[in-house]
């Protein structure tokens, strides 16, 4: 008697890998002044452009390539994506609204000192509440989770079975939330991963016994590619 396996069962155990190269944008003036940016639409500084050029050269030396490049619509991410493409395959950058940074409401543009005066409760909140800006007119934690889930599920549905490599250019807050969703099950309340300007993170996403999970292959700060250290220049929300 022939042994038959349904397509749905077979699909659960076939290993297909979607590789994601995650890049945080280069430095902006708000970064250098340690201000919360959120949806503020600032361009790259000259140092930020230098960081992107350094990253692009390093990626070419490592032989990294990608099938598609998706970017947040904010200028700092879009400029980063375009600069990376200029030295690469010259593919068009595709806007991905779900990659936009978390909205921080009326805290946007403020330094930690200014927040201490105008919204002192924010700095004293427990760490598991730091991604929720609803109290200040920004996005709630649940809204961010829903957006990240929509982004992740969309990438999996469109690209996983094609086994493609995608370059995603985004922001520190959003990339942190995306990593947390991809590599942890269940998703933890508290998880700390630092995304400096022009950090490069490689995640392989595949089916593992019925679940689609990511595995971090490497997470590299721009300092290891030859740029000066960012110590003291990373704000509380990027």
Q: What is the DSSP letter of 160?
A: G
pLDDT, position 234: 47
- Choose the catalytic residue: 25, 42, 85, 171: 25
The answer to whether residue 238 scores a pLDDT higher than 90 is no
**Rg, C-alpha atoms of the chain:** 19
Over residues 128-173, the pLDDT tens digits come to 887 899 999 999 999 999 999 999 999 999 999 999 999 999 999 9
Evaluate if pTM is beyond 0.85. Answer: yes
Domains of the chain plus CATH, in order, are 16-103+139-225 (3.40.50.1240)
Over residues 119-131, the pLDDT tens digits come to 988 988 888 887 8
Judge whether 196 and 234 are in contact, CB under 8 Å. Answer: yes
Over residues 60-84, the pLDDT tens digits come to 999 999 999 999 999 999 999 999 9
Q: List the one residue out of 59, 43, 148 whose CA is nearest residue 101.
A: 148
Q: List the one residue out of 179, 228, 218 whose CA is nearest residue 59.
A: 218
The answer to whether residue 25 scores a pLDDT higher than 90 is yes
Active site residue 101: yes
pLDDT, position 135: 94
Residue 6 burial (CB < 10 Å; 0-12/13-18/19+)? Answer: exposed
**All residues at 6 or more sequence positions from 182 whose CB lies less than 8 Å from its CB, including other chains:** 20, 152, 203, 205, 213, 214
Active site residue 171: no
- Choose the catalytic residue: 27, 42, 85, 101: 101
């Amino acid at each position: 008697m022939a042994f038959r396996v349904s397509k749905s069962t077979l699909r659960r155990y076939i290993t297909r890998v979607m590789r994601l190269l995650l890049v945080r944008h280069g430095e902006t003036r708000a970064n250098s002044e340690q201000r919360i940016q959120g949806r503020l639409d600032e361009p790259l500084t000259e140092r930020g452009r230098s960081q992107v050029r350094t990253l692009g050269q390093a990626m070419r030396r490592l032989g990294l390539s990608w099938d598609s490049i998706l970017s947040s619509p904010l200028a700092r991410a879009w400029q980063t994506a375009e600069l990376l493409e200029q030295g690469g395959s010259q593919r068009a950058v595709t806007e991905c609204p779900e990659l936009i940074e978390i909205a921080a409401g009326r805290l946007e543009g403020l330094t930690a000192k200014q927040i201490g005066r105008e919204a002192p409760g924010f700095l004293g909140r427990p760490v598991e509440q730091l991604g929720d800006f609803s109290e200040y007119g920004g996005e709630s934690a649940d809204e961010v989770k829903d957006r990240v889930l929509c982004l992740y599920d969309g990438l999996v549905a469109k690209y996983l079975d094609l086994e493609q490599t995608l370059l995603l250019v985004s922001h520190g807050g959003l990339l942190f939330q995306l990593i947390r969703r991809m590599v942890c099950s269940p998703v933890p309340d508290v998880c700390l991963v630092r995304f400096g300007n022009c950090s490069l993170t490689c995640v392989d996403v595949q089916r593992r016994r019925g679940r689609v999970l990511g595995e971090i292959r490497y997470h590299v700060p721009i300092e290891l590619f030859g740029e000066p250290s960012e110590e003291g220049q990373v704000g509380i929300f990027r």
